[in-house]
Amino acid sequence: MVGLANIYVLPISYSLLSLVRPLNCMEMKKISRRKFNSRLGKGLGGAALLAGMPLSHVTACAPKQKDSLGIALVGLGSYSTYQLAPSLQDTQYCHLAGIVTGTPSKEKEWAQKYGIPSSNIYNYENFDSIADNEAIDIVYVVLPNSMHVDFSIRAAQAGKHVICEKPMAMNVEECDAIIQACEKAGVKLSVGYRLHSEPYTQEVKRLVREKTFGDVHYVSADAAYMSRGNPDQWRLDIKLSGGGALMNMGVYSIQSVIYGTGENPISVQAQEFSTRPEYFKQTDETITAQFEFPGGAAGNIMTSHNASANRLYGSCDSGWYELQPANHYGPLHGRTSEGEFSFPHERQQKLQMDDFAKHILQGTKNLVPGEMGKRDMIIVEAVYKSIAEGGAKIKLDLGEMGLS
Ligand code: NAD
pLDDT of residue 404: 78
Residue of the nearest CA to atom 41 in ligand 1? 192
- For residues 280-298, average pLDDT: 98
Question: Is the Cα dihedral 239, 228, 390, 373 positive or negative?
Answer: positive
Residue of the nearest CA to atom 44 in ligand 1? 79
| C-alpha span between 173 and 338 (Å, rounded) | 44
Whether 178 has a pLDDT exceeding 50, the answer reads yes
Whether 365 has a pLDDT exceeding 90, the answer reads yes
CA distances from 82 to 85, 86, 269, 368, 399 (A): 7, 6, 36, 22, 37
Cα–ligand 1 centroid distance for 166 (angstroms):
10
Cα–ligand 1 centroid distance for 209 (angstroms):
34
When pLDDT is cut at 50, 70 and 90, the band that residue 14 belongs to is very low
User: What residues have CB less than 8 Å from 388, skipping those under 6 apart?
Assistant: none
pLDDT of residue 134: 98
- For residues 380-399, average pLDDT: 98
pTM reported for the whole predicted model:
0.88
Residue of the nearest CA to atom 43 in ligand 1? 79
Task: Provide the mean pLDDT of the chain.
Answer: 88
pLDDT of residue 62: 56
Atom index in ligand 1 nearest the CA of residue 235 equals 2
Whether 8 has a pLDDT exceeding 70, the answer reads no
Q: When comparing pLDDT for 224 and 65, which is higher?
A: 224
Q: When comparing pLDDT for 254 and 56, which is higher?
A: 254
Whether 47 has a pLDDT exceeding 70, the answer reads no
Residue of the nearest CA to atom 6 in ligand 1? 77
Residue 54, classed as helix, strand or coil, is coil
Q: Indicate the burial class of 299 (C-beta count within 10 angstroms; 0-12, 13-18, 19 or more).
A: buried
Percent of the chain exceeding pLDDT 70 equals 84
Q: What is the pLDDT of residues 301-346, one digit of tens each?
A: 999 999 999 999 999 999 999 999 999 999 999 999 999 999 999 9
| C-alpha span between 393 and 205 (Å, rounded) | 27
Whether 10 has a pLDDT exceeding 70, the answer reads no
Q: Is the distance from the beta carbon of residue 166 to the nearest atom of ligand 1 less than 6 Å?
A: yes
Atom index in ligand 1 nearest the CA of residue 103 equals 11
Q: Is the distance from the beta carbon of residue 243 to the nearest atom of ligand 1 less than 6 Å?
A: no
Q: What is the pLDDT of residues 128-163, one digit of tens each?
A: 999 999 999 999 999 999 999 999 999 999 999 999
When pLDDT is cut at 50, 70 and 90, the band that residue 63 belongs to is low
